[in-house]
Structure 1
Amino acid sequence: MIAPQRRNKIKELLLAEGSVKVADLAKAFNVSEETIRRDLMQLEQEGILEKNYGGAVLAVEWQQAMAIVPPVQQRKFQYYEEKDAIAKAAAALVEESTNVILDSGSTTWCVARHLRNVSNLTIVTNGIDIAEECSANEDRSIFLLGGKLIRKSMCLVGPQAENELQKYDAHYAFLGTSGISLRKGFTSSDLYESQVKRAMIKAAQRVVVVADHSKFVKHAFVSFAAFRDVDQVITSELADAAILREIEQQGVRVTVCPLKKTE
């Protein structure tokens, strides 16, 4: 297991349990205690934990935040290094003066962060947190779709959002997905969110799905796109290579992002 993947697992344990012990982690991941201490030092520098004798506890700020933030915010912390690498590759596709549709979601939020330095963009999104992230740059136009608020994902859905998307002709649409099925294509856990995703696909010249490795072993409730509807999938080297080859055989370009392999 490479370092970013291991640190993500440590984050998940901290978020679930509130504390971890060096000896337990070393045994669980089959690495030295010194390697685990370096992991904890890195996570402490990120402000996620506070080290103590023999282990670490979740930082107080995070304890308070986890008590009040919605699930979409919590998902940003899961597989963060992987999502960040995927988002960086996605954002590299975008040139200045481009029209971009950003789906709601934790990985597309990372895409928004990496678009900070791309000037003169027009961004259309149904994600409230994505609109907020994009607003930090004053030289861009931001259009937040209207509709019904889905609190768990802080996104707007419904006929209003779908109708508004008919007005746009974007260069790119970056979409998240709850799961990827070789039989059903790209899937969503929410019927209304899937309908907005379909409208985004119709409104874009090029459709890019950004997905961490976990999405390739999940099959959600509703299919929102077949492989023929998507131009490119961007994921990481943690994704199952056999599944990626089958997706490529469907005519989809697959981009695999490497992750840092330091201990």
Structure 2
Amino acid sequence: MIVIERRHRIKELLLKERSVKVADLVREFNVSEETVRRDLNQLEKEGLIVKNYGGAVLSDDLQVAFNQIPPVQQRKFELFEEKDAIGAAAASLVEDKQIVILDSGSTTWCVARHLNTLKELTIVTNGVNIADECANSEGTEIFLLGGKLIKKSMSIVGPQAEADMHKYNADYVFLGTSGISLKKGCTSSDPYEAEIKRVMIETAQQVVIVADHSKFNRQALLSFSSFDKVDMLITSDLVEPAILQAIEAQGVKVIVVPVGGTIG
């Protein structure tokens, strides 16, 4: 792992845990204590941390700012390299002038950020974070569903959102998931979000699930799709191959993005 990748991973750990210990980082990255201390010195110069005995904590300014960010925005920083690689692979499927549905979430946000180079796209979404990201592309037309806002995920759900969604047809729908299990398929922890995902699946020609490795062998509250309704699954090589083979056996095309050599 090169220096910039290691320091980015340390930043991710700090954003998630709020503190790190030198001894833990030595074990995590298999480097010397001197190397870790150089990394922390640099992060302190950047104003990101305050060093203490045996480690470092996130700076007070960042602590305050981070606590004011909605959870979906915080999740952008978790497993970012993996999610971003998945997002890039998903976006590569899309062509100019196509219609794309994106649900809210951190991995679908990574898909959105890689769509910004395409021309004359139409984006339909229930994610405020997604609409905000897609607004960076001047030629993209954006339709944001109406309904109830769930603040922690910045997603719009409910009967109005579902009725709005039924009006659209799309080339692709990209969906995140709280969990994937061989028994229950794709699952969500929120009943309203599960329902809007079901409606989104009905409106697209190609249904694509985007999920980092942490989502596998997890089963959230409600199933929103069995594998027979999913055309593609895009994930990383951090997922156990046997699990992906079992999903492929159910008719899903699995795209595996190589990230194992650059994370952790």
TM-score by length of 1: 0.88
**Equivalent residue, structure 1, for 2:105:** 105
**Cα distance change on mapping 1:64 and 1:108 into 2, 3 Å:** same
**Equivalent residue, structure 2, for 1:259:** 259
Question: Does the 8 Å CA contact 1:165/1:200 hold for their aligned counterparts?
Answer: yes
Percent identity, please. Answer: 64
AA partner of residue 67 (structure 1): N
**Equivalent residue, structure 2, for 1:118:** 118
| Residue 140 in structure 1 maps to residue 145 in structure 2 | no
Q: How do 1:158-237 and structure 2 match up within 5 A?
A: 158-237=158-237
AA partner of residue 105 (structure 1): G
**Cα distance change on mapping 1:261 and 1:11 into 2, 3 Å:** same
Question: Does the 8 Å CA contact 2:16/2:78 hold for their aligned counterparts?
Answer: no
RMSD over aligned CA atoms reads: 2.9
Q: Secondary structure at the match of 1:84?
A: helix
Kindly state the Cα deviation for residue 93 of structure 1 after the two structures are TM-superposed.
0.5
Question: Does the 8 Å CA contact 2:97/2:120 hold for their aligned counterparts?
Answer: yes
**Cα distance change on mapping 1:17 and 1:198 into 2, 3 Å:** closer
**Equivalent residue, structure 2, for 1:57:** 57
Deviates more, 1:252-261 or 1:1-10: 1-10
| Residue 240 in structure 1 maps to residue 240 in structure 2 | yes
Question: Does the 8 Å CA contact 1:2/1:260 hold for their aligned counterparts?
Answer: no
Alpha-carbon distance in 1 for matches of 2:41, 2:258: 23
Tell me the alpha carbon deviations over residues 24-54 of structure 1, each in whole angstroms, 9 at most, x when there is no partner.
3213554433564576589779985566786
| Residue 14 in structure 1 maps to residue 40 in structure 2 | no
Question: Does the 8 Å CA contact 2:237/2:258 hold for their aligned counterparts?
Answer: yes
Alpha-carbon distance in 2 for matches of 1:192, 1:206: 22
In the comparison of the two structures, how many residue pairs are matched? 263
Alpha-carbon distance in 2 for matches of 1:224, 1:190: 10
AA partner of residue 81 (structure 2): E
**Cα distance change on mapping 1:16 and 1:257 into 2, 3 Å:** closer
TM-score by length of 2: 0.88
Alpha-carbon distance in 2 for matches of 1:16, 1:122: 34
Alpha-carbon distance in 2 for matches of 1:225, 1:41: 47
Structure 1 unaligned runs (5+)?
none
Q: Secondary structure at the match of 1:209?
A: strand
**Cα distance change on mapping 1:152 and 1:16 into 2, 3 Å:** same
Alpha-carbon distance in 2 for matches of 1:47, 1:87: 29
**Cα distance change on mapping 1:136 and 1:257 into 2, 3 Å:** same
Q: Secondary structure at the match of 1:217?
A: coil
**Cα distance change on mapping 1:123 and 1:6 into 2, 3 Å:** same
AA partner of residue 78 (structure 1): E
Q: Secondary structure at the match of 1:173?
A: strand
